[in-house]
Amino acid sequence: MTAGSPPTTDAAELRVGDRTLSLPVVRGTEGDDALDISRLRAESGLITLDPGFGNTGAATSAITFLDGEAGVLRYRGYPIEQLAEHSTFLEVAYLLVYGDLPTQEQLNSFVTEVTHHTLIREEMRNFFDSFPTDAHPMAVLASGVVGMSTFYPDSQNIFDADAVEVTINRLIAKVPTLAAWSFKKAVGQPYVYPRNDLGYAPNLLHMMFAVPSEDYEVDPAVAEALDLLLILHADHEQNASTSTVRLVGSTHANLYASISAGISALWGPLHGGANEAVINTLEQIVADGGNLQKWVDKAKDPNDSFRLAGFGHRVYKNFDPRATIIKRAADRVLAATGADDDLFEVAQRLEEVALNDEYFVGRKLYPNVDFYSGLIYRAIGFPKNMYTNCFAIGRLPGWIAQWKEMMSSPETKIGRPRQVYVGTGSRDYVAIEQR
């Protein structure tokens, strides 16, 4: 089956009153089939109601496949385990955005393009200066990304393939610079300019951790671990931030605006912000004396809003394959950096307690991608509030690929859910003195 042309075979029948409606069944490549309800309201007056969209397909997509029951994740058909072992982040970015693994020539040209767009406009230094020192880097990143559209008005030409391509290259190139500078601002250090002789992950480490007064050598093991994390985060089909990018993009807002909205959606602790929340929780547990059962019980208490960050997933109900890869990598990074691994031990023991607890087992709550990723960012030396920025850099090619797919699909319309109104019926206006 080719992208954008899902075969429609068979039909399900729905009885509404004395009428029988026929709902076409749309077949996915891997048996992930759907009922096409797009004519339902026109034919029956009914809409569907699905808070949280747990049962709603918003698009047909040929980018990422995941099977939550079997713990399978593939980008463009390639298993995440193989990409994690053999590929690089920029190659994966190319794969996601353009649909196939690049030839050597295509990869060289893509890497050259991205590498030569890493500088941000010098006027943007003032932009960083104008935020308070303790500004959260996610706020700065989201603002910086939409702010870039002011420098590149060609990004408004969303149907011009050349303008879109240069916008894509600029985004992939400049977001690490914006992310690193948001950190430099927070720690009061001089902004460090990108180095085009370095690879993608080494350059991010350089911009984050170098200072003009000293030499900074990128540790290859650390750069490799960061590149791996970026690969593992690169796409995850229709999650909250990706759906946000698609929804904003469906209004024909430019790509910078759409990606900035995705970054804001990612920030929340139920989504990408969970990596920061996990480390906060582990630190709290240690500071509180290390009684793991107490915190697991707190997470289970329906009267307590506390949840165990890094556990559970809307789609994965067995294991998150990204978490399995990250846990192994965490071991390697901690060994390479010699970072203190107290929290890693606490995390492993917490996982064991939770996975032997009926509440977590019964609800199929397993460690997700964020459970161990924060520990790697921490070992590398990133401050907690930068973890989700790193996630955003990784997710960027996925957001771009999803935006591009949506923009080129004949199925696309402006995203506009409906509602079931349950408020007051019609009533007359009452003058203020009579209320």
**Of 313 and 404, CB closest to ligand CMC:** 313
DSSP 163-228: HHHHHHHHHHHHHHHHHHHHHHHHHTPPP----TTS-HHHHHHHHHH--TTS-----HHHHHHHHH
252 sits near ligand CMC (criterion: CB under 6 A)? no
206 is catalytic: no
**Of 163 and 296, CB closest to ligand CMC:** 296
In terms of Cβ atoms closer than 10 Å to its own Cβ (0-12, 13-18, 19+), residue 201 is buried
Q: Which of 87, 155, 368, 385 binds ligand CMC (CB under 6 A)?
A: 368
Q: Which of 170, 246, 313, 378 binds ligand CMC (CB under 6 A)?
A: 313
* Residues near ligand CMC (CB under 6 A), total: 20
Of the residues 313, 341, 342, 428, only one is catalytic, namely 313
Q: Give the gyration radius of the chain's Cα atoms.
A: 23
Which tokens belong to 94?
């190319």
310 sits near ligand CMC (criterion: CB under 6 A)? yes
Q: Which of 312, 374, 397, 398 binds ligand CMC (CB under 6 A)?
A: 312
CB 419 within 8 A of CB 17: no
Q: Which of 365, 380, 386, 392 binds ligand CMC (CB under 6 A)?
A: 365
428 is catalytic: no
Only one of the segments 108-116, 203-211, 243-251, 367-375 lies at the binding site for ligand CMC (rule: CB under 6 A); that segment is 367-375
Closest residue (Cβ) to ligand CMC?
312
- Please give the Cα distance from 348 to 178 (Å, whole number): 33
Which tokens belong to 53?
């969209």
Task: Write the binding mask 52 to 71 for ligand CMC: x where contact by CB under 6 A, - elsewhere.
Answer: x-------------------
Nearest to 370 by CA among 339, 391, 396, 394: 391
285 sits near ligand CMC (criterion: CB under 6 A)? no
Least Å from the CB of residue 316 to ligand CMC = 8
DSSP 366-434: -B-HHHHHHHHHHHHT--GGGHHHHHHHHHHHHHHHHHHHHHH-TT-----------S--------GGG
Residues with a catalytic annotation lie at 313, 370
Give contact residues for ligand CMC (rule: CB under 6 A). 52, 239, 270-272, 274, 299, 307-314, 363, 365, 368-370
